[in-house]
Structure 1
Amino acid sequence: MTEAVHQPEDLLRAVRAVGVSDERLLQAVRATPRAAFVPAGHEAHAYQDVPIPIGHAQVTTQPSLSATMIEGLDLSGDEHVLEIGTGLGFQTALLARLAADVVTIEMWPEIARQAGRNLARQGIRNVELRIGDGSGGVPDRAPYDAVIVSAAFPEVPAPLAGQLRRGGRLVQPIGPGGREKVVSFLRTATGLERARVLTPARFVRLHGQYGFPEA
């Protein structure tokens, strides 16, 4: 039996199916070719709504899950965004289309370099890509209007909460790694306020000084 060939519109349908309705976000998904952000040899799976391995026990975030998390940031277009975990840059590209600029940080240098090449080929220039420990954020570019964390930890690391502007939103999978609730937080005068649970999910662990220790 011949395997079904998936198209970009299949990904858009998958994103709509999980309840994402923000038209700007749906247009960003439509305009961003996921096939340009997957490892060589995985292009046939680019428009399936599945995570894809990228090395170092890391995987890309499932596109519908990325869209759900981004929608939870409630972006209007003029935000300064921090992304923890660049991966190969697909989620970064979506954020870049929806915000004024994005600072993104990736722990693995070769993954970060590939992400940089992927973004450059798509002409996306409002992204600053850093290599390092994302659990501590990027303090020299703070404060941020929104923060998105693509790895799991039982609580929001203090540096990430501290780098979020009052009134800003932070989305992170909360849990031990492998069984999480993705939660949207609002930064108030007194700290982070848990706004709502967006979805259950499975994520790799957030490692680093303010996350899980390296094995």
Structure 2
Amino acid sequence: MVSEQLESRGIRDERVLDAMRRVPREEFVRQSTRRNAYEDHPLPIDEGQTISQPYIVALTLQAAQLAETDCVLDVGTGSGYAAAVAAELAGRVISIERHPELAAAAESVLKRLGCDRVTVIVGDGTLGYPDLAPFDAIVAAAAGPRIPAPWVHQLAVGGRIVMPIGDSRFGQALTRATKSSDGALRRENLGAVAFVPLIGEYGVSDRS
């Protein structure tokens, strides 16, 4: 997976590559799809959600430029896989999931694997988590029409937001936004992607 899907497609951050090697992806997918766990495409999980393909997880975390002491807000826990990889790179990961069943399942797997740097919270991820702000990075596994305003307020100066922006009708672009000292965001387009919608007060309406 690392050599054929990540390094060959431009993932160069050695810390990200090592983290992807260490986290057992098969632990985060359904039993019926374990044989496909390391293939280069998303896989279905419960509640109509997916676990992102390995390359997208690596690209997102490489773009987030995580340091060992960073506090990261991970929006859209899903299976918990991306949070587990992020926890290999950062000091603390706060992961928010709107589906209680997914949150409970992810928390169980993370605890079993000893991922004690991840805290899973049930809630509206578009609101962020002000109790533990500011965050050094915010990463999202769902696409919204714009960056939620609470995330901008909760992001530290110099912090990075990496999220897909757009919708299924007009397409999505993985975007990195870095917060400058005056509070402005410098945006970079990292390429076309396809994600589930970011549901919440500052996202899109609930389609479930």
Using the size of structure 2 for normalisation, the TM-score is 0.95
Alignment correspondent of 2:109: 118
Work out the number of aligned pairs and report it. 206
Superposed, 1:74-89 pairs within 5 Å as: 74-89=65-80
Whole-angstrom distance in 1 between the partners of 2:93 and 2:3:
23
Report the CA distance between 1:120 and its aligned residue.
Answer: 1.1
Give distance in 1, aligned partners of 2:14 and 2:127.
Answer: 32
d(CA) in 2 for partners of 1:78 and 1:118? 24
CA RMSD, 1 decimal: 1.3
Q: Return the offset for 1:12.
A: 4.4
Partners of 1:210 and 1:183 in 2: how far apart?
Answer: 17
Among candidates 12, 23, 26, match of residue 17 of structure 2: 26
Does the Cα contact within 8 Å between 2:180 and 2:186 map onto a contact in 1?
no
Paired residue secondary structure (1:66): helix
Say which SS state the counterpart of residue 42 (structure 1) adopts. helix
Q: How does 1:14-53 map to 2 (within 5 A)?
A: 14-53=5-44
1:187 is aligned to 179
Structure 2 residues not aligned, in runs of 5+ = none
Report whether the alignment pairs 1:200 with 2:195.
no
- 1:133 and 1:76 map into 2 onto residues whose CA distance is 26
State how far apart, in whole Å, the 1-side matches of 2:2 and 2:9 are: 11
Give, as a single letter, the amino acid of the residue that structure 2 aligns with 1:202: A
CA distance in 1, matches of 2:33, 2:135: 34
The TM-score normalised by the length of structure 1 is: 0.92
Q: What is the percent sequence identity of the aligned residues?
A: 37
**Inter-partner Cα distance in structure 2 for 1:194 and 1:36:** 36
Unaligned regions of 5+ residues in structure 1, if any?
Answer: 1-9
What is the distance in 2 between the residues matched to 1:67 and 1:116?
21
Q: Judging changes above 3 Å, is the alpha-carbon distance between structure 1 residues 63 and 192 closer, same or farther for their aligned structure 2 residues?
A: farther
Q: Deviations over 1:13-37 (max 9, x none)?
A: 2111221110011000111110011
C-alpha contact (below 8 Å) 2:26/2:37 kept by paired residues: yes
The residue that corresponds to 1:163 in the other structure is 154
In the alignment, structure 1 residue 211 sits paired with structure 2 residue 199: no
Query: Residue 191 of structure 1: SS of its match in structure 2?
Result: coil
CA deviation map 1:145-200 (0-9, x unaligned): 00001111121000011110011111010101462110111111333423321121
The alpha-carbon deviation at position 11 of structure 1 amounts to 4.5
8 Å CA contact retained: 1:173, 1:183: yes
Q: Distance between the aligned counterparts of 2:20 and 2:196, measured in 1?
A: 23
